[in-house]
Structures are given as C-alpha cells and as structure tokens.
Amino acid sequence: MKTESQNDWNPLDTSNLKDQRQAYDNMRERCPVAHSEFMGWSLFRHKDITAVLADPKTFSNVSQFLAIPNGMDLPEHGQYRKALDLNFESEQMSWLEPKARKIAAELLESALTGDEVEMVTAFANPFTLKTLCALLGWPVQQWQYLDSWVQGSLQASFDKDSVAGKTLANEFSQYVKANLNKRRLSPLEQTDATNNLMNTKVDGVELDDDQIVSVLRNWTAGHGTVSASLSVLFMHLAENLELQHQLRSDSMLIPAAIEEILRLDGPLVSNPRTTTKEVEIQGKIIPKGEHIALMWIAGNRDPRAFAKSNELKIERNNEETLVWGQGVHICQGASLARLEMRLAVEEMLSKTKLFELTDKVPRRAVYPSNGLSSLYLQFR
C-alpha cells in the first residue's frame, strides 16, 4: 500500500483549518492512517481508534512531563485515578450543582440585556472556569487568570512553542501553589476539591504540591474543552430551531441532545499515544516509539460506526461515542463536564424564548480545538 507522504497531510494547512471536520472526514476515507511532520501518525477511523484505546500496553499515554493521571500508564494510572475519583462522584456533583446553576443564571442575566451577544466571552469561558473555581473553593475572580492560561496554552500547542509552554507551566505552578499556601494558613471546613486534593493519598502518601499542580493543570485544560463544547452546543441549537423547541418542551431530552451534538461536532481534535512496539494498522507499519494522534472528530463521524453519521439524531444510541474517549483513560471528569453542559443548556432555554445566529458568521477555533472563537447570538 502506498504510504501517505508527509506533504500530503498537513493538519495546519489553511484549507484544513477552515473546516477541520470536513478535512478529517476526507482523510478518513482517502488515507485512514496518515503521517505528517506536525502530528506523526494520525488515525481517522473509529475501529482503529477504539483498538488503540483497548490496548494501553501497546499504545502508551505516558507524558514527558508530570501529568496526573492522564500522562500515566497502568498500574500507576489506576492508582492515581482511583484516588482522585472522589472529586467527581455523585455526592460532590450534587454539592456543586446549585453553585454552578447560580453562576450560569447570573452570567445569562447579564449577557441577555443586549440584542446581540458574543457567547464565548460572555458566557462559555467564564461559566466553565468560574464553576471550576467553585469546585476548588477559590475566589471566583480567579477564573480570569485560568482563562488566560488556557488560551495561552492552546496557542503554544498550535505553535509548538516549547519555550512559551514551559513559561506558562511555571507560572501556573506558582499560581496554584500560592492558593495551596493560603489554604494551609486559613484551612476551611468544607468539602471542596482543594481540601480533597490536599488530603488525597496514593499508597499511603499524600500528594505533594507538584502533583496537585499537575492534577489541576489537567482539570483546567479540560475546562477549556468544556467551554469549546458549550460554544458548539449553542451554535447547533441556534441553527436548529426545531430541536430548540423540542428541548424546551421536554428538558429530559437535553442530556441525549448534548451527547449527539458533540458526537457530530466534537470540541477536541485529537489526543496522543506512543507505540511501545512496532505495529501494523491498515497495512501501514508504524515503528516503536512513534507518536499517534487519535482523531476524535473523524472517528465520531465514521459511517462504519454510526448510521447516517453526518445527521443529528438525538434518539441515537451513543454507547460507542468517542466524545469522552474509551478504555482505561476515559475522561475522569465526564460527570463534571456533563453537569456543566446540562445546566448551561437548561438555563439558556429557560431564560429565553428563542435564540438564533446573527449575520456574523461563527468563527471556528483551530487545532487542537474544534470549538468556536466567537459566536454571536440574537434573542427573541
């Protein structure tokens, strides 16, 4: 089989960035295992991606930097993940829900005073990061620093700027440690995630500050993806007034609608793995130690896995969705992300009679995000 040349697949080409979903759909059919200088090897088909996720021994998730628990393999990954599960259990989500709903309601009350609102900056970014601050028990105004860190990290990833990335990592570390030191000076009797993390033990040993920084780096970056998800959700609802009416009439359909919209139009382009031995995928020989990108949004739109994959069907069985990943590294914060998105959509629908796109075309973000950088809505 002919090997795709590096020049044939350039994820940063302007034509690919203009419509990443279409570009990856084309690659899935034309060259399902492709190579590029930027990404290494990319997998586009659902079957190939799920096979990688089911074999963590062959496809390692270990990061070159401390990354808890994502950048770890078994058994270490399982030990840290189990220790951190407390923060995403139903009791913790019930504790957080009224706080997050209040944040959503207040932001919408402020945003909806105008006839036209840019929803990414007015709602999606502040809502997700203010909710993270509530989970952590941090002052709510700290969401602005977290937002600047997320945006800077996305840009450094896109530019492959290791210097900028290291600077941002050091600044984030200092910021988190300052919050930890404040908590130690004035400990609070509450069940927020900061207290949980400071008392988390793995093999009987408490997490040190660097480990907590690593955990929170993962959580904060994840909230950037939740924000991107909200922008995608609001855009699709603004475009599909019939669906909007359906969800207003029956709010029990909201969770299924969220899952299906994000399957159709995912917020995150890909995640990496590294081969621990030589493998063959779709006739391509991939050596040991090679970088592999799992192209989520291509796999989620694969017609081999989802009938009429380019159509939105909220009644669809989405057990095989890749929105949250699969296998041992399935998204640990999925319960939190689902809670935030459900509350945001519920509040948006309850506080409006109808919302639509304006004449300002939504602007897409670029790799590694597939969310929106701007989304203008008008309300009636």
- For 269-303, how does the pLDDT look when each residue is reduced to its tens digit (9 = 90+)? 999 999 999 999 999 999 999 999 999 999 999 99
The residues, any chain, with a CB within 8 Å of residue 297's CB and separated by 6 or more, are: 20, 21, 24, 265, 266, 268, 269, 370
Q: Which amino acid belongs to residue 341?
A: M
Instruction: For residues 327 and 113, give the distance between their C-alpha atoms in angstroms, rounded to a whole number.
Output: 44
From the list 139, 162, 93, the residue with the least C-alpha distance to 342 is 93
Instruction: For residues 61 and 77, give the distance between their C-alpha atoms in angstroms, rounded to a whole number.
Output: 10
How many CB atoms within 10 Å of residue 358? 15
- Pair of tokens at residue 153: 């990290």
The answer on pLDDT for 4 being more than 90 is: no
- pTM for the complete prediction? 0.94
Q: How far, CA to CA in Å, does 190 sit from each of 136, 229, 274?
A: 10, 30, 40
pLDDT, mean over the chain: 94
Is 1 among the domain residues?
no
The answer on pLDDT for 321 being more than 70 is: yes
The answer on pLDDT for 324 being more than 60 is: yes
Q: What is the mean pLDDT of residues 318-331?
A: 96
Compute CA 232 distance to the chain's CA centroid, rounded to the nearest angstrom.
Answer: 12
Q: What is the mean pLDDT of residues 5-17?
A: 75
Instruction: For residues 157 and 207, give the distance between their C-alpha atoms in angstroms, rounded to a whole number.
Output: 27
Is 370 among the domain residues?
yes
SS3 257: helix
| DSSP secondary structure letter of residue 120 | I
Q: What is the mean pLDDT of residues 224-249?
A: 97
Q: What is the DSSP track for 34-70?
A: EEETTTEEEE-SHHHHHHHHT-TTTEE---SS--TTT
SS3 196: helix
Q: Total domain count for the chain?
A: 1
Q: What is the mean pLDDT of residues 48-54?
A: 98
71-94 residue pLDDT tens: 999 999 999 999 999 999 999 999
Q: How confident is the model at residue 15 (pLDDT cuts 50, 70, 90)?
A: confident
Instruction: For residues 96 and 300, give the distance between their C-alpha atoms in angstroms, rounded to a whole number.
Output: 30
The residues, any chain, with a CB within 8 Å of residue 350's CB and separated by 6 or more, are: none
- Pair of tokens at residue 364: 């897409």
Pairing of strands 291-295, 284-286: unpaired
Instruction: For residues 153 and 168, give the distance between their C-alpha atoms in angstroms, rounded to a whole number.
Output: 7
Dihedral of CA atoms 104, 105, 107, 110 in degrees, nearest 10, equals: 170
**Element holding 295 (H helix, E strand):** strand 291-295
Instruction: For residues 292 and 56, give the distance between their C-alpha atoms in angstroms, rounded to a whole number.
Output: 13
From the list 123, 303, 93, 337, the residue with the least C-alpha distance to 231 is 123
Q: How confident is the model at residue 8 (pLDDT cuts 50, 70, 90)?
A: low
The answer on pLDDT for 187 being more than 90 is: no
Q: Interhelix angle for 143-159 vs 209-239, to 10°? A: 90
Is 164 among the domain residues?
yes
134-143, 182-191, 348-357, range with the lowest pLDDT? 182-191
Question: Which pLDDT score is estimated for 189?
Answer: 64
Q: Interhelix angle for 254-264 vs 334-350, to 10°? A: 110
Q: Are 297 and 269 in contact (CB under 8 A)?
A: yes
Q: Are 125 and 147 in contact (CB under 8 A)?
A: yes
23-36 residue pLDDT tens: 999 999 999 999 99
- Pair of tokens at residue 354: 């109808």
The answer on pLDDT for 370 being more than 50 is: yes
Question: Which pLDDT score is estimated for 231?
Answer: 98
- Facing residues of 36 across strands? 40
The answer on pLDDT for 2 being more than 50 is: no
Instruction: For residues 35 and 185, give the distance between their C-alpha atoms in angstroms, rounded to a whole number.
Output: 52
**Element holding 194 (H helix, E strand):** helix 193-198
112-140 residue pLDDT tens: 887 899 999 999 999 999 999 999 999 99
- Facing residues of 132 across strands? none
Question: In CATH, what number is assigned to the domain containing residue 358?
Answer: 1.10.630.10
The residue range of the domain holding 169 is 6-379
The answer on pLDDT for 5 being more than 70 is: no
The answer on pLDDT for 346 being more than 90 is: yes
Instruction: For residues 264 and 261, give the distance between their C-alpha atoms in angstroms, rounded to a whole number.
Output: 5
Is 142 among the domain residues?
yes
